[in-house]
């Protein structure tokens, strides 16, 4: 006999998304700068690898 899932079965999903953040929050600007710096380093290294 199959049972129909009601709102009670979805309570875990709702409480999962409503859970408070416990992780370390970082500034998005720092992440953007780090990605840009990493990209520039890769481009410079690639340039020196193809020149030599």
Q: pLDDT tens-digit profile of 1-52?
A: 555 555 555 555 555 555 566 777 778 899 999 999 999 999 999 988 887 5
1 in any annotated domain: no
Total domains in the chain come to 1
pLDDT given at position 16: 55
Domain that holds residue 31: 25-52
pLDDT given at position 49: 87
pLDDT given at position 33: 96
51 in any annotated domain: yes
The three-state DSSP-derived secondary structure of the chain is: CCCCCCHHHHHHHHHHHCCCCCCCCCCHHHHHHHHHHHHHHHHHHHHHHHHC
Its pTM surpasses 0.85: no
């Amino acid at each position: 006999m199959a049972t129909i899932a009601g709102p009670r079965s979805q309570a875990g999903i709702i409480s999962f998304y409503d859970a408070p953040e416990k992780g370390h929050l970082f500034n998005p600007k720092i992440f953007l700068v780090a990605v840009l710096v990493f990209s520039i380093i890769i481009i410079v290294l690639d340039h020196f690898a193809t020149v030599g």
